Structure 1
Amino acid sequence: MNLHPWIQLLTNQFQQTTFWEWAAVILSVAEVLLAKANNLWLYPTGIAGTLISIYVLLIAGLYAESALNVYYVVMSVYGWVYWIKKRDEPPVKISWATRSEWVITLLIVFVGWAVLYFILKNYTKSNVPLWDSWVSSTAWAGMWLLARRKLENWILLNVSNLFAIPLLFYKKLALFGLLTVFLFIVAFAGFYQWLEIWKKDRSKVSPSGGDLEGASL
């Protein structure tokens, strides 16, 4: 297999990378590392990176992705305030989505996809309305599940990432594409980490609903 054309394509895309794209990607990576360290600075770092990303994505004509990042900013501000108020309280338990939550998730995906596609197709100059709207609707569904601490959030987010990677390279946003590859890998790790936490929580509860740690021997 001749890899030279692909290497040349990637090199050309890196040469066209702007200062703002570099800034957005560096801040996004810093946000992920701060989140892993459970550090409050993940929020201001993420907000700064996302605001820059909105500008970069608008220039590239990825309007649904830009709108998605506006939502990220709002949720980051909310998370920042919520963290300060609730950081000393026990977190919501990780669990699997219920049937009703899956219905809502699928509605977000497919209704969101249809609405975003209609808007992009009729009211923007997007040349990838179907693709762009799908990436955003699946990410919205994933974030909704994430907010509810559902294991399946990682699956929906990686469906979004899987389609976003070639879309970003197509739009000559090589750094954003590589960042999404990184996030794709992180999501796999996140899923298995959450699964282990869920299993540990389950092991502490007896079949009758009691706490095994507090049961007498």
Structure 2
Amino acid sequence: MNHWLQLFIEQIKETTWLQWLAVALGVTEVLLARVNNIWLYPAGILGTTISIYLLMDVHLYAESVLNGYYVVMSVYGWIYWVKKRNEPPVKITYSTKNEWIISLAISIVGWVVFYYMIKNLPAKYFTPSNVPGWDALVSSTAWAGMWLLARRKMENWIFLNISNFFAVPLLFYKHLPMFGMLTIFLFIVAIWGYFEWKKQVERGQLKA
């Protein structure tokens, strides 16, 4: 236990100001999202852009691609919010059998694609990753979770937390302790989100 505590303290000491800034922006985004404040988007875009640079630096290529997708979706969400913020939100529902199949397909096929891409990245431009399978797993399950989140499906929290669960040790292994702590925070938020959404679904069913 002392060994792991000492290792964590050493990693914290080595944490760069860019890591601190990216994590601070990530926490800010989550807190702003909780109160439906539109400033969550610029905070998220800036924080995610910094994260891409840091993840590339430690050769987590699939997570870098995933964060690139976050940037694109944040820009889209920002524009969509401005246009549709006064309209009623899409109702939260449970996934159908077909949506479960699609989600599992995204996770499995995504893992294969990411793994293949990471293993075959041109050495001329990128340093080979030493954790291609793990990196690919974190990203592919997050892709499935984001697809379900866009459709307002309860199960998005399950897939996102599978991604978070595997991301935590990976980030600590890559000496990104603050990113690891942020992911633990997001893991807890996702559990809270699941039960909050569950209450909304149950309230909707009672009204029906």
TM-score per shorter chain, which class? over 0.9
1:38-57 equivalence runs, <5 A: 38-57=36-55
After superposing on structure 2, the runs of 4+ consecutive aligned residues of structure 1 that deviate more than 4 Å are none
1:62-141 equivalence runs, <5 A: 62-123=60-121, 125-141=128-144
- Tell me the amino acid that sits aligned with residue 39 of structure 2: W
Q: What secondary structure, in the 3-state scheme, does the structure 2 residue paired with 1:111 have? A: helix
Once the two structures are TM-superposed, the CA of residue 6 in structure 1 deviates from its matched residue by 1.1
Q: What secondary structure, in the 3-state scheme, does the structure 2 residue paired with 1:8 have? A: helix
Once the two structures are TM-superposed, the CA of residue 103 in structure 1 deviates from its matched residue by 1.1
Once the two structures are TM-superposed, the CA of residue 201 in structure 1 deviates from its matched residue by 0.6
CA distance in 2, matches of 1:89, 1:203: 23
Deviation per CA, 1:175-200: give whole Å up to 9, x if none.
Answer: 00000000000000000000000000
Q: How many residues are treated as equivalent by the alignment?
A: 203
Match of 1:209 in 2: none
RMSD over equivalenced CA pairs, Å: 0.6
Gapped runs of 5+ residues in structure 1? Answer: 206-217
Deviation per CA, 1:116-138: give whole Å up to 9, x if none.
Answer: 00110121511000000000000
- Tell me the amino acid that sits aligned with residue 193 of structure 2: G
Deviation per CA, 1:121-160: give whole Å up to 9, x if none.
Answer: 1215110000000000000000000000000000000000
Match of 1:177 in 2: 180
Q: What secondary structure, in the 3-state scheme, does the structure 1 residue paired with 2:120 have? A: helix
CA distance in 1, matches of 2:205, 2:80: 27
Are 1:161 and 2:164 matched, yes or no? yes
- Tell me the amino acid that sits aligned with residue 189 of structure 2: V
Match of 2:201 in 1: 198
Instruction: Give me the TM-score of the superposition, normalised by structure 1.
Output: 0.93
- Tell me the amino acid that sits aligned with residue 90 of structure 2: V
CA distance in 2, matches of 1:24, 1:167: 17
Higher relative contact order (CA 8 A, sep 6+): 2
Once the two structures are TM-superposed, the CA of residue 75 in structure 1 deviates from its matched residue by 0.3
Match of 2:23 in 1: 25
CA distance in 2, matches of 1:113, 1:55: 22
Deviation per CA, 1:80-126: give whole Å up to 9, x if none.
Answer: 00000000000000000011111111110000000100110121511
CA distance in 1, matches of 2:117, 2:47: 26
Once the two structures are TM-superposed, the CA of residue 37 in structure 1 deviates from its matched residue by 1.1
Gapped runs of 5+ residues in structure 2? Answer: none
CA distance in 1, matches of 2:32, 2:200: 20
Deviation per CA, 1:4-43: give whole Å up to 9, x if none.
Answer: 1111100110111111111100000000000011100000
CA distance in 1, matches of 2:14, 2:100: 41
